[in-house]
Amino acid sequence: MPINVITSGFATTIQDLGRPGYYHLGIPMGGAMDRFALRCANMLVGNDEGAAGLECVFMGPELEFTQDCTFAVTGGDLPPKLDGEVLESWTAIPVKAGQKLSFDYLRSGARAYIAFSGGIDTPLDLGSRSTYPIGALGGIDGRAVQPGDTLPLGAADGKAKTGAHIPEKLRRMPARETELRVLPGLYWHRITEASGARFFEETWKVASEADRMGYRFKGGTPLEFVDREPPFGAGSDPSNITDACYPYGSVQVPSGTEPIILHRDAVSGGGYFMIGTVISADMDLIGQLQPNVPTRFVKVDMDTALSARRDRAKALDAVRAHLA
Amino acid sequence: MTSRYTFGGDEHVFVEVSEEMSLEAFFTTLSMTNAVRDAKIDGVTEICPANASFQIKFDPDVIHPDALMDRLKSMEATAAKQEPKLTTRIIEIPVYYQDPWTHETLMRFRERHQDPDATDIEYAARINGYDSVDAFIAAHSGAPWFVSMVGFVSGLPFLYQMVERERQIQVPKYLRPRTDTPKLTVGYGGCFSCIYSVRGAGGYQMFGVTPMPIYDPEQKTGYLKDFMVFFKPGDIVKWKPIDRAEYDRCLAAVEANTYAPRIREVVFSLDEFNADINGTNARLEEALYAD
């Protein structure tokens, strides 16, 4: 018995933890931009942490349940309303067949995650249900959710605990003025020392071109390049390289003007140089940034990146312990 | 050739084999990535070869980044000694140059182009010193091409022209990328040709279109039944210029699911190629059309 989609919100997609293993063919891992939030939502409703849920951007869908189940909303602050009554996020909420779920307006963050007990049970493509519209993989026919769609649910194993709640201190959301930690590298040597220092000193802003493929930033000073003879095959612009792979989280700066951080639906490669990579611990935060959010890039070394990664794992363990 | 090793955050090692493109750099990339695959290193999760560089994704909870970096560096000397030779396939790809669909698209984005008064292929022919578009098409389709990278989006091949460097076609990308490119457009940027596997944004010049699907997520196309992506690095491609009538015939065959690309197995040796480029290409073409 499926969930009926009445209205679909804006770019609402089915996402799980993605399909790693095909990046060498230009098929990105995909999956929830804020993986922590999706894992939390699944834990609240008693699912495997990697079960498929809905990723909602800026606004929520309107859904009608045709079976009893439990749902939870996490991530950006998008308050759920059940038959019009506003309820708490980060909480396991039981529903009856016939009830309708809608959403209040977004208070903070950019993406909310809805998990349902049993998980969304659309077909797997390359091992994942994550929607990748460019390659027409996952989701429903490889596209975002539309009004009139029905979302099938898998069998719930009865582990959902009604009323289970994740308190604010266990959550992780970006601050009003965000800091993203970057490990310099890749083609860092292509810009001058002064330009590199300025990149980290200035405050940038999230541009309107910000989606699952990448987040663009604006407002900083254009980068200054070290002079060179263009290598054969690279192209004549100083920001060109012989087309190469792009790491997830890598910061490319076409023509040296506006940095773009590639995210879960990244293009796997191309001809623009990159000055470094956002550390794995901060990738989830990017998915919660709205356009115009002031952002600073903070230079870190590998030890800091690894210790931040351990802290992230601990934060997830704390949620697991809290709900156990 | 000494490779440059650098980290892409805490989950990637990025290795630039050479700043500039060459088949030597590609072969080193291929033997390095093959060696890494064969080594089955714990914690390595993705191995992505590119034109003249490659990237290894790893789980730093399983292997320390420095340990992986050292391990990769230790493999370089052996990989460099590998004979640059491979058993691969040569594939004929029909191309309808100057087709109406890419033409309509390029006209929509003229203000993003270096030469708004010419078409993409007229511009490319002129800046590469060809007298006519026909002469340019003859050059583009004359020699075979090497698939030196698969990526950007879903199964898109980057192709490198198998001729002396001074004969290689070079074209800048659009001044600003287009927001639209027809599916299966044969494009060109820098020294690379490509086939857009899916419709979408793009910055490469557009020369024509192929009727032959190269990506099928539903795996209904006969020759994509086993896997949805057609190309892999090391494939060799020979373009075959076709007209509208032939294009329509191919497309009908694709739609009836009876289209079978012409594919033959060949052995390619870089040393042999470098010693006699025209002879090697003639032999490859002979293998493709022998029967």
Give A299→chain B minimum CA distance, Å. 11
Q: Does the distance separating the beta carbons of B45 and A27 come in below 8 Å?
A: no
User: Which residue, A169, A194, A227, sits at the end of a domain?
Assistant: A169
Identify whether A209 is part of a domain. yes
Do residues A12 and A160 share a domain?
Answer: yes
**Where do we find the tokens 């992986």?**
B68
**Looking at residue A161, what is its pLDDT?**
80
Identify whether A117 is part of a domain. yes
Do residues A157 and A33 share a domain?
Answer: yes
Q: Which residues of A touch B149 (CB under 8 A)?
A: 243, 269
8 Å CB contact between A180 and A285: yes
Count of residues in chain A: 324
Q: Note whether A213 contacts B: Cβ–Cβ < 8 A.
A: no
The residues with which B4 forms a beta bridge, in sequence order, are B16
From the list A263, A277, A285, the residue with the least C-alpha distance to A132 is A263
Do residues A131 and A196 share a domain?
Answer: no
Q: Note whether A155 contacts B: Cβ–Cβ < 8 A.
A: no
From the list B29, B178, B37, B23, the residue with the least C-alpha distance to B112 is B178
DSSP per residue over chain B, as a string? ---EEEEETTTEEEEES-SS--HHHHHHHHHHHHHHHHHT-TTEEEEEE-SSEEEEEE-TTTS-HHHHHHHHHHHHHHHHHS-SEEEEEEEEEEEEET-HHHHHHHHHTGGGSS-TTS-HHHHHHHHTT-SSHHHHHHHHHHS-EEEEEE-SSTTPEEEEE-S-GGG---BPPPSS-BS---TTEEEEEBTEEEE-SSSS-B-SEEEEE-SS--B-TT--SGGGSS-SB---TT-EEEEEE--HHHHHHHHHHHHTT-----EEEEEEEHHHHHH-HHHHHHHHHHHHH--
Do residues A122 and A183 share a domain?
Answer: no
List pLDDT tens digits, range B208-239: 999 999 999 999 999 999 999 999 999 999 99
The backbone torsions φ and ψ at residue A204, rounded to the nearest 5 degrees and listed phi first, read -105, 170
Provide the sign of the torsion angle of the four alpha carbons B122, B125, B129, B134, taken in this order: negative
Do residues A27 and A162 share a domain?
Answer: yes
Do residues A123 and A246 share a domain?
Answer: no
Identify whether A124 is part of a domain. yes
8 Å CB contact between B193 and B107: no
Write down the mean pLDDT value for chain B.
Answer: 96
Q: Does the distance separating the beta carbons of A186 and B6 come in below 8 Å?
A: yes
| Count of Cβ atoms closer than 10 Å to residue A4 Cβ | 15
Identify whether A319 is part of a domain. no
**Where do we find the tokens 């869908």?**
A61
The minimal CB distance from A24 to the residues B16, B20, B150 is found for: B150
Do residues A52 and A141 share a domain?
Answer: yes
**Looking at residue A1, what is its pLDDT?**
67
Q: Which residues of A touch B155 (CB under 8 A)?
A: 25-27
Identify whether A283 is part of a domain. yes
Q: Does the distance separating the beta carbons of A245 and B153 come in below 8 Å?
A: no
Q: Does the distance separating the beta carbons of B154 and A242 come in below 8 Å?
A: no
Distance (Å, rounded) from C-alpha A276 to C-alpha A185? 5
Where chain A has pLDDT below 50, the residues are: none
| Count of Cβ atoms closer than 10 Å to residue B281 Cβ | 18
8 Å CB contact between A143 and A131: yes
Do residues A95 and A243 share a domain?
Answer: no
8 Å CB contact between B89 and B264: yes
CATH code, domain carrying A200:
2.40.100.10
Q: Name which of A17, A188, A232 to mutate to probe chain B: the one with the most chain B Cβ atoms within 10 A of its Cβ.
A: A232
User: Which residue, A143, A169, A195, sits at the end of a domain?
Assistant: A169
DSSP per residue over B74-117, as a string? HHHHHHHHS-SEEEEEEEEEEEEET-HHHHHHHHHTGGGSS-TT
Give A303→chain B minimum CA distance, Å. 9
List pLDDT tens digits, range B65-76: 999 999 999 999
Where chain B has pLDDT below 70, the residues are: 1
User: Which residue, A117, A143, A169, sits at the end of a domain?
Assistant: A169
Which strand ranges, in their side-by-side order, compose the sheet holding A3-7? A85-86, A80-82, A100-103, A62-65, A3-7, A150-151
Do residues A145 and A231 share a domain?
Answer: no
**Looking at residue B78, what is its pLDDT?**
84
Do residues A184 and A251 share a domain?
Answer: yes
- The domain total for chain A is 2
Identify whether A276 is part of a domain. yes
Identify whether A56 is part of a domain. yes
Its pTM stands at 0.95
Q: Name which of B3, B12, B160 to mutate to probe chain A: the one with the most chain A Cβ atoms within 10 A of its Cβ.
A: B12
Do residues A184 and A157 share a domain?
Answer: no
Do residues A198 and A291 share a domain?
Answer: yes
The minimal CB distance from A245 to the residues B20, B55, B153 is found for: B55
Distance (Å, rounded) from C-alpha B184 to C-alpha B164? 27
Identify whether A323 is part of a domain. no
List pLDDT tens digits, range B85-106: 999 999 999 999 999 999 999 9
- Which domain range does residue A71 map to? 3-169
**Looking at residue B1, what is its pLDDT?**
60
